[in-house]
Structure formats: C-alpha cells, structure tokens
Amino acid sequence: MSAIPEKGATNDPRLERRAAMRTLLANRGDMLVVTGLGSTTYDAAAAGDDDRNFYLWGAMGGAAMVGLGIAIAQPKRRVLVVTGDGEVLMGLGALATVGVQQPPNLAIAAFDNGHYGETGMQASHTQMTVSLCGVARSCGLEAVYDITGDDALQEFAGRLRHFDRTMFARVAIQADEPPRVLPTRDGVVLKNRFRRSLGLE
Amino acid sequence: MAATAVADWRASIFAAFKSADIRQIGYVPDAGHTLLIQQCGADPDITAVSLTTEEEGVALAAGAWLGGQRCALLMQSSGVGNCINMLSLAKSCRFPLVMLVTMRGEWGEFNPWQVPMGHATPAVLEAMDVLVYRVDAAADAGDTVAAALDIAFNGGLATAVLLSQRLIGAKKWVK
C-alpha cells in the first residue's frame, strides 16, 4: 500500500483554462485583478489586457498577498486573485494570513491543474495529498468552492459581481498549455497603469 | 532614565509612521517591535497584518501601494533571509518598501544560531538593491525611519532600517 493516496486527479472533470478565465472576467465591472506567475497571467491577457490587471511575472507565492494589500487599501473595490496551484502552494501561509484578515472584498481563485506547467508539467502536491479547499477552510475561510464543472464556475462568476466576504475557489482545470499570450513584462508600467486606473498617478 | 529613553525611541518611530501616513503594517512578531505593533494595532487608521513569514510582507506592501496606501514592514534580522526572492517584486516594479529590522546576532547575543543571518543581513539586503540605514543610538531612531519613509515613498525605492541589538537591548535568556 502506498503511503501517498491516489486522488485520481486526472479523472476528475476539468475545465479549459482560457474559457474559465474568460468566464470569471466576462462581467468584471470595476473589479481589480491580480494574476500569479505563469499561466494565469497568460490566461488573463488572452481574455483581454486591462489596466486593472496586475500580472506577476515573478514573486512566486506572492499573488494572494498582493491581492490582500490591494483589498485593504481599496475597501470599496472587489479584488480577484487568479493564480495556479503551484503558486498557492509556494505561499501557503498567505491563506492563513488572509484567513485572519478576511477582507470582505477579496476573492482568490486557484486554477488547479495539479502540475507545474511553466517548468515542464511536473506533478504538484494537489494531485497527491493536498486539498487547497481543505487548506482554505482550515485557515478560517467559509466561502470556499470546489469547482469542477461549468455550472459551478458560472455560479462562482456570478458571485464575483457582488460578494461581502472573502471567497476562495479551487477551479479544476486541464493540464494543457494553450499558446502563450504575453502582456508587457515591464513591472513599472504594470504598476503605474494599475494605479492610474484608480486615479492614483 | 533607561525606561524613558526606550519609550521615546519607539514612540518616535510610530510618530514617523503617522507623519508619513502609514496605513498598513505587515509584521512577524518580535520582542523589539512589541510596542510598535501594539500602537499600530490600536490605531484606527492602520491595518496591522500578522504574517506567517516575512516575504508575505513584501507582497502585501506592493499591493498596498497598488491600492493607494503606504505600508511598512516590521521583522527581525532572521526574517530578512525569508524575503530575498520576493524583493525582486520591489525591484522589478520599483515599489516603495520600508522594512524595519530588529537585529539579532550582534552585541550581547546569547544564541549563536542567530548570528549567521544577523551577520549577513546588510549584505543580502544590499545585494537586492535595498538601501540600508542603521540605528545605534536612540536619539537617531525617529529621524532615520522618517528619512527611509521619505526616500521610499517619494523616490520609489526599497529601504531597510536596521535597529541594532545594542539599541533594543539583548534578549534576556535567564530570568
């Protein structure tokens, strides 16, 4: 008997990442968006570049915390962090920190393909023993959604329009690599245009 | 005399925070920062965020600036090592950053395990292009922190103020 239970992740229903991102951002209104290092940055750019997107091209593990800082600073704006399972795993403590703060305007969606897509599709912990939703619940979050199908994704996208407590969603996505769509990598440009969109520059 | 002087330098740092309109702090608890953490936590205009590791604070500060608020970080020198890769966020995007670092592994250190990171703290910060200031005398604390806040937020630079172990007082291990 293996010490590591098989979760059969590859047999789960899984969503296509580009379509999933389009669904989340389709009616974003004035929502602010942070994406994590790697594929979620390409997915957001593919859905339509926007000054209110802050793409991380590095700082792996930092996406949720960047979102937390924005959410505290902009309590009247909704903030959505979309990042990958590997990126969440690298900064797992951030979920504990978010769980303590619980800003009502912050939502985190983890695109979980069970792999480190950027580095050659090595298996991540989420296809072994780790449940990101379980971690989020253990950190004190109550609005936690495990999304494996389109109906649940549509429902979550609807919740993103009006929400009043911290939300966490794990979105099961296919482990594929659609063609890269690369937004600017100039961090100063990304920072300044984001702040300008809020009237800060 | 000692108690008053201690209260004064800590209060002068909080006063510098208020003058600079600091609205968020990220901290990993440290005995040297106790009073500052309490003061910030009690201030209705400051959100005090307890971190599980110091690198979270670098990302928090970036988010705060993106959202239009100023954030300062409080940590111990051992925590500086946890921040190194995340400091690339500040450098790549030219985010303002202010880290107040209470030093361990210096004068009067009891625990040799604190020495390696304490000894390396200025060098690793400078390797990541963080501007390093140091405070050894209580009278300099407020002005030095104010200067760091000014160049960080008005100049878009990453700064660290090292609060020396001599200033803070060595940890008492046997009470």
B44-64 pLDDT, tens digit each? 999 999 999 999 999 999 999
B60, B66, B88 member nearest A194 (Cβ): B66
- Taking CB atoms and an 8 Å cutoff, what residues of chain B touch A65? 56-57, 59-60, 63
Q: What number of CA atoms fall less than 13 Å from residue A66's CA on the CB side?
A: 32
Q: Is A11:A146 a contact under the CB 8 Å cutoff?
A: no
For chain B, percent of residues with pLDDT exceeding 70: 93
Neighboring chain B residues of A192 at a CB cutoff of 8 Å = none
Give the domain ranges of chain B.
2-167
ipTM computed for the complex? 0.94
Chain-chain contact of B69 with A72 (C-beta, under 8 angstroms): yes
CA pair distance B138, B4, nearest whole angstrom = 11
Q: Which segments in chain A show pLDDT lower than 50? A: 1-11
Query: Using a CB-CB distance cutoff of 8 angstroms, which residues of chain B are in contact with residue A198?
Result: 67-68
Whether the CB-CB separation of A33 and A1 falls below 8 Å is answered with: no
Decide: B55 and B89 in contact? Cβ < 8 Å: no
Within 176-195 of A, beta carbons closer than 8 Å to B belong to: 187-188, 190-191, 194-195
Q: Do A198 and B69 touch (CB under 8 A)?
A: no
Q: Region B69-98: what's the mean pLDDT? A: 97
Distances (CA, A) of B99 to A50, A96, B76, B117: 31, 22, 10, 16
Q: Does the pLDDT value for residue B89 go beyond 80?
A: yes
Residues in A closer than 8 angstroms to B63, CB to CB, are 34, 65-73
Q: Do A61 and B63 touch (CB under 8 A)?
A: no
Query: What is the Cα–Cα distance from B102 to B74, expressed in whole angstroms?
Result: 8
Q: How far is A83 from chain B (nearest CA, A)?
A: 14
Distance separating alpha carbons of residues A148 and B89, to the nearest angstrom: 32
- Topology of the domain covering A9-176: Rossmann fold (3.40.50)
Please say if the pLDDT value at position B174 is more than 90.
no
pLDDT digits (tens, 9 = 90+) for B102-122: 999 998 888 899 999 999 999
Correct CATH for B2-167 of 1.10.10.10, 3.40.50.970, 3.60.150.10, 3.40.640.10: 3.40.50.970
Chain A hits for B69, CB-CB cut-off 8 Å, are 69, 72-73
> Is A63 part of the contact surface with chain B (CB cutoff 8 Å)?
yes
Condensed to tens digits (0 to 9), the pLDDT of residues A139-183 reads 999 999 999 999 999 999 999 999 999 999 999 999 988 999 999
Angle at A108 between CA B92 and CA B81, to 5 degrees: 40
Of B47, B56, B85, the CB nearest to A65: B56
Please report the residues numbered 53 through 112 in chain B whose beta carbons come closer than 8 angstroms to any beta carbon of chain A.
53, 55-69, 71, 85-86, 88-89, 92-95
**How far is residue A131 from each of residues A161, B43, B88, measured CA to CA in Å?**
26, 37, 29
Report pLDDT for A1. 41
> Distance of CA A157 to CAs A65, A115, A163, Å?
22, 24, 11
Residues of chain B positioned with their CB less than 8 A from the CB of A58:
85, 88-89, 92
For strand A122-123 and strand A115-116, is the pairing parallel, antiparallel, or unpaired?
antiparallel
Q: Enumerate the β-bridge partners of residue A147.
A: A171
Q: Model confidence at B175, in pLDDT bands (50, 70, 90)?
A: low
Q: Answer yes or no: is pLDDT of B172 > 70.
A: no
Residue of A nearest to B25 (CA): A69
**For A73, which residue in chain B has the nearest alpha carbon?**
B67
Q: Where are the beta strands (DSSP E) in chain A?
A: 32-35, 53-55, 79-84, 106-112, 115-116, 122-123, 143-147, 167-172
Q: Do B49 and A56 touch (CB under 8 A)?
A: no
B128-132 mean pLDDT: 98
Write the residue in A101, A190, A200 that is nearest to B93 by C-beta: A190
Question: In B, which residues are within 8 Å of A72 by CB distance?
Answer: 24, 47, 49, 63-64, 67, 69
Domain boundaries, chain A: 9-176
B156: left (phi over 0), alpha (psi -120 to 50) or beta: left
Residue B69 has a pLDDT of 98
CA distance B151 to B131: 9
What's the predicted TM-score (pTM) here?
Answer: 0.94
What does the alpha-carbon distance between residue A196 and residue B10 come to, in Å, rounded to a whole number? 36
